[in-house]
Structure 1
């Protein structure tokens, strides 16, 4: 046994030297099992890399995207400085940003698993009980899809969980300087988590002023060092946020301008209204994602939740909550800061980013400990030492296998369906501008590696300066793409400097433009796994006996529109409907005599419009 001094406990904090490496190894194994098969697939990636990482390809090939390309310029400003620095190093080493993001995902996930173990072991007081609680909390972390999903892609948000847990772990271990280092890293990589953790330190400092006998701050964090970290981190956060406006893409939209605007609802680009409640964010969402509803369907998922709940209730009664609470001052401060900032962020929407971000990360981490403590404590007192040891090893092996299966491809999406299109686009000039449906253009921009006129991912109405550029482009695109006039298409290309148009004839089909709800039998809606399919009919019969309808709405599959049931987010769905109606359901771009192009597969064509652009001198407004 080895130990480190914890002044609050008054005795060495007992650890075993191989516990933390074991936790890191288990986390790494789960990552490899979940994402290993996709590491080197260039067309499997997190969806947001198409918004935040694509432009970094220009570090490997300076001719890509070209200078003063507004979409790349915005994405570069949107990515935090710390993330930019890491990917700049990766580019220096010759790594493609998508591959670098996948590797970074593994590093961050592995670190977070070790940090969850270290934090929970520390809060449980170390020793044998602490080891069991640490590994039980780690098991919850590994089985929970939320963490890998958010870390996937290696984007700025990927640093939120790891740096939050690292900060709390350092605080709980009385390593104040390490906590302040984490705080500064948060300012560089994920500024709103810096605000959250700085708020927790401020609350703890205030508590010590109100209760001089209380000790809330970590032992070696003085007022001066905390103030210095606040000043440096605050300056970085302020400068980063100001840079977006200085580049012409801000300021952020005001709350008054969002109220009543459909684009900020579930039908629009970002669902800000209604704001999720604390109950939903802190309790319902974490537990729903942890339970096997996705894998087992609603019926068996609910049954599994009841069984686990009953087991946890039985173990929670005997858990040492009071002793644990005395070591949890870091978590109490973080939880309090989360609630305060959630309330403030609701009042000043987007000025402190989204309110839910201040609850969801801390809530999911705290649930790992809330579930891990009673489980670990119960297991630590089960049977003889040899039996417990064998049981513990068996449980960890089972958890690792189950997590690897459950998290298979978590946070990754497959874009290889359009691989032939990407290959064709890459044959064009590197300075070419491609037009087409904005949702498809995200893929062309990233995997085809060419400039596009406008995309879904970078259509962000909360950035006023950017939206003033993007909104007109979206309108012009849909008016031309769905027009019945070839002259409208030519005029669009000439005015905007579009060299090629990608046309997908599925975008003009009725099921795409105005899809109707589809219904499936209730037993199919249960989504039972194969091994439990025999239960479908009995459960459906029981439900029908209680008056449940015999059919249910078929869930939408993720489509290129990204929004279920509409050709694009509101209010552009209505614009498209108007253009289609005005044209009587005729579409100029489907006339292959007028726009022959090169056919790519059964549905897509790439049309060379350079002659039309050349006649007008090619303004290249899209740059």
Structure 2
């Protein structure tokens, strides 16, 4: 058993790598059932980042649609090119987004296994690290989404793998791919390359005297500069990026906001959420907590003999975390010019924790088996052997079985199912250039399932680019005013201003409670409070009076009014 766990021959390498890939495949295929259970199923984040790609199949979709234009403008070049190419050979972008997680998960597993062996050349370590990382990723909504953040882990692990092997070509390709799929993390790679020139194994830090280190660093920096230059040169029509001062004045960024950032609790602000390093998501599953013990375990090589085989490349992992921390602090200092601070630490921390935990577990198992020859016996079996086998079984069951035995939903897919197919079919039969105005939750599904434009939607209320969100807020305020107005002229002016063709409403009468209980609507002041005041004063919305005359589609809970009827 001991040899099977800590063997280093090619046979053990193949066995543990194969098991790693099989588990990754299992997790990926488990997501297939809900993904393809219905025609109207989409991952939550894909509703934002992929719906507009239907333009690749039909260029006439979403004309003059600010929401589609915005999400297309922020899509990284490589990500956009991949989906465009696949659409060119007939693969629907939504379908592709459901297939990619399995492929990316397998690539992630292979590189994670390889990085682990660079740190501790024991195949078991690669297996444990890849399983822990896979479980963590399939408990989150990143990999499953098929959006740009799904590409982070295979590329970032490839960067670490080739960086540890001092492969100039491999590292350069990894940086280029990261710039094409998730550009902001290229800054972490650049900071890491600079840190690689420094040596911290003496009393004082010193700079490397090896020419190869400088060639490696400056070549990588040149690639990083080249891949980021197009983003820096392009002037977005939705600029500028929102400032910290502006953000602090918007309810969206406060504790109960749609994109809460400025929370009151200091622990949450610095360690969790969009503003923090996201340690809450890194320490999962529970065995990952053992990764925090790595510095302690390495201090006792006499108790953990295998610690002597931990390579000097652990310093690479430390510099990678330091580079992430530097960018995290820079993102806070330049809020929001480098976007969210959490994106610079949460991904590297998840990788580091999984690798560290795998090393600790391997060292513990080896130490236990090394002590199994204790002189105490139970019948004819040594007590040490019993304890070693028991501990190995416990760790093995916990490692492989945790998500299936403890979690209610694994993998967590965050898939959204469309429950009103007749509504989607109704809009699909309308012209491609229609625009739908609505404040109901179901409106968020219309761009994906009906492939028609909406005026606003909670899923698309992304406030980081003021050029976009300024217009979005104005649309929201105008829609709230029109929907709850007792004045027909205001409703008609709203329809004409925004070119509205249909309004999607709840079948129940519009009430003040429906606004006051909706934290998202309450972000748009003073329009929300003014609407509440009108309703509490007994002023009935004119749209309530037009339901019978202008309704063109209805089902329990929802109804569609035709704008042309309201104008007449």
TM exceeding 0.5: yes
Work out the CA distance in 2 between the residues paired with 1:474 and 1:499: 17
SS at 2:560's partner residue? strand
Structure 1 residue 437: deviation in Å? 1.0
Determine the structure 2 residue equivalent to 1:600.
Answer: 554
Say yes or no: does 1:233 pair with 2:224.
yes
SS at 2:504's partner residue? strand
Work out the CA distance in 1 between the residues paired with 2:419 and 2:21: 35
Determine the structure 2 residue equivalent to 1:609.
Answer: 563
Structure 1 residue 477: deviation in Å? 0.9
1:256–1:167 distance in 2 versus 1, CA, 3 Å: same
SS at 1:144's partner residue? helix
Determine the structure 2 residue equivalent to 1:95.
Answer: 91
Which of the residues 515, 522, 530 maps onto 1:578? 530
Structure 1 residue 223: deviation in Å? 3.1
SS at 1:79's partner residue? coil
Structure 1 residue 37: deviation in Å? 3.6
Say yes or no: does 1:30 pair with 2:27.
yes
- Equivalent positions of 1:455-534 (< 5 A) are 455-505=457-507, 508=510, 512-515=514-517
Determine the structure 2 residue equivalent to 1:568.
Answer: 521
Number of aligned pairs?
Answer: 530
Work out the CA distance in 2 between the residues paired with 1:85 and 1:173: 30
Work out the CA distance in 2 between the residues paired with 1:444 and 1:17: 47
Deviations 1:333-353 (A, max 9, x none): 111111111111111012111
Say yes or no: does 1:286 pair with 2:238.
no
| TM-score of the two chains, using structure 1 as the length reference | 0.75
Say yes or no: does 1:378 pair with 2:364.
yes
Say yes or no: does 1:196 pair with 2:193.
no
SS at 1:157's partner residue? helix
Structure 1 residue 97: deviation in Å? 1.1
SS at 2:561's partner residue? strand
- Equivalent positions of 1:61-80 (< 5 A) are 61-66=58-63, 68-80=64-76
Work out the CA distance in 1 between the residues paired with 2:369 and 2:38: 47
SS at 1:45's partner residue? strand
Deviations 1:285-325 (A, max 9, x none): 1366534xxxxxxxxxxxx999x899999988755557536
The question of whether the paired residues in 2 share the 8 Å contact of 1:145 and 1:289 is answered with no
Determine the structure 2 residue equivalent to 1:265.
Answer: 254
Determine the structure 2 residue equivalent to 1:341.
Answer: 327
Deviations 1:153-187 (A, max 9, x none): 11111122222222112222333421221111111
SS at 2:521's partner residue? coil
Which of the residues 134, 156, 161 maps onto 1:164? 156
Work out the CA distance in 2 between the residues paired with 1:582 and 1:397: 61
The question of whether the paired residues in 2 share the 8 Å contact of 1:598 and 1:607 is answered with yes
The question of whether the paired residues in 2 share the 8 Å contact of 1:514 and 1:567 is answered with no
1:310–1:90 distance in 2 versus 1, CA, 3 Å: closer
Say yes or no: does 1:142 pair with 2:134.
yes
Which of the residues 151, 155, 161 maps onto 2:143? 151
Structure 1 residue 260: deviation in Å? 4.0
1:212–1:605 distance in 2 versus 1, CA, 3 Å: closer
The question of whether the paired residues in 1 share the 8 Å contact of 2:24 and 2:109 is answered with yes
Determine the structure 1 residue equivalent to 2:343.
Answer: 357
Say yes or no: does 1:430 pair with 2:432.
yes
| TM-score of the two chains, using structure 2 as the length reference | 0.82
Work out the CA distance in 2 between the residues paired with 1:442 and 1:459: 11
1:473–1:322 distance in 2 versus 1, CA, 3 Å: farther
SS at 1:326's partner residue? coil
Structure 2 runs not aligned, ≥5 long: 1-7, 373-384
Determine the structure 1 residue equivalent to 2:56.
Answer: 59
- Equivalent positions of 1:257-336 (< 5 A) are 257-274=246-263, 276=268, 278-280=270-272, 281=276, 284-286=279-281, 289-291=284-286, 318-319=303-304, 324=310, 326-336=312-322
SS at 1:474's partner residue? helix
Structure 1 runs not aligned, ≥5 long: 1-10, 292-303, 516-564, 616-623
Deviations 1:232-269 (A, max 9, x none): 432332422543xx241012122233234333222333
Determine the structure 2 residue equivalent to 1:85.
Answer: 81
Deviations 1:177-211 (A, max 9, x none): 21221111111110111111111111112449963
1:199–1:36 distance in 2 versus 1, CA, 3 Å: farther
Determine the structure 2 residue equivalent to 1:527.
Answer: none
1:506–1:91 distance in 2 versus 1, CA, 3 Å: farther
Which of the residues 95, 99, 104 maps onto 2:100? 104
1:229–1:214 distance in 2 versus 1, CA, 3 Å: closer
CA RMSD of aligned residues (A): 3.7
